[in-house]
Amino acid sequence: MRDFKIAPSILSADFARLGEEVHSVLAAGADIVHFDVMDNHYVPNLTIGPLVCEALRKNGVKADIDVHLMVKPVDRLIPDFAKAGATYITFHPEASEHVDRSLSLIKDSGCRCGLVFNPATPLGYLDYVMDKVDMILIMSVNPGFGGQSFIRSALDKLRAVRARIDASGRPIRLEIDGGVKIDNIREIAAAGADTFVAGSAIFGTPDYRATIQKMREELAK
Ligand code: DX5
Ligand code: ZN
């Protein structure tokens, strides 16, 4: 079995109690904090920046923080997020003028780097950077909002990326983001994902521990 990780998206948390929400989802068994950064330019929504990431670290959050940049331009925010305590920084390749440079900037600032693919973005951006990326994130919704339905073409994409990762021999994480629920997580894992972002499916339920536990039971089947 792969080393599965559950990454709740704090986009669906109660922002008025963010620190408390993050601590409780981690205490409930989550592995990674998925941190959605939206700029009202690359995507039609506006969320949180490096100050909030830093505030979570100051509040004692020790888990990996997975910063998903949905911003254009990309590079300007990288050093600030690295300083703020990000573990992973991923970005959408079509939002960067120089994809290889953005990946290097992330690595050089001490974080792990990754590319994010929208439902209609082709995988060719990976061709010359498989030796560099630490994570590949497949979007199973169009980015911008929580609570959307899973787009099933993402399953074929996961299978294609899983084959590339296995061929590379590198420990690249394969993350899926959008519409992940208890009732589809098993099928998504079978297609090759090992890291599962879930926002509304976790924060929309009263008992985070029970929900994460059910997800793990599905993954163990
Ligand atoms: C969408 C974000 C996702 C979102 C997922 O643009 O990248 O991380 O919060 O939310 P759910 O799990 O509700 O689809
Ligand atoms: Zn995300």
Q: Is-contact 138 172, C-beta < 8 A?
A: no
pLDDT in tens, 76-127: 999 999 999 999 999 999 999 999 999 999 999 999 999 999 999 999 999 9
Flag whether the ipTM exceeds 0.90. Answer: yes
Query: Three-state DSSP class for 103?
Result: helix
Tokens matching residue 38: 């939206």
Residues with CB under 6 A from ligand 1: 9, 11-12, 34, 36, 68, 141, 143-144, 146-148, 177-180, 197-201
Give the range of the structural domain holding residue 123, as residue numbers without chain letter: 5-220
Residues 6+ apart with CB under 8 A from 82: 89, 106, 109, 110, 111
Q: State the CATH number of the domain containing residue 10.
A: 3.20.20.70
Choice among 36, 39, 134, 194 that is catalytic = 36
User: Atom 1 in ligand 1: which residue has the minimum CA distance?
Assistant: 143
Q: Is-contact 81 97, C-beta < 8 A?
A: no
Choice among 39, 66, 134, 177 that is catalytic = 177
Q: Is-contact 191 164, C-beta < 8 A?
A: no
Q: Known catalytic residue: 177?
A: yes
Q: Known catalytic residue: 156?
A: no
In the chain, count H helices and then E strands: 8, 8
Number of domains forming the structure of the chain:
1
pLDDT in tens, 146-200: 999 999 999 999 999 999 999 999 999 999 999 999 999 999 999 999 999 999 9
Neighbouring CB atoms inside 10 A of 140's CB total 25
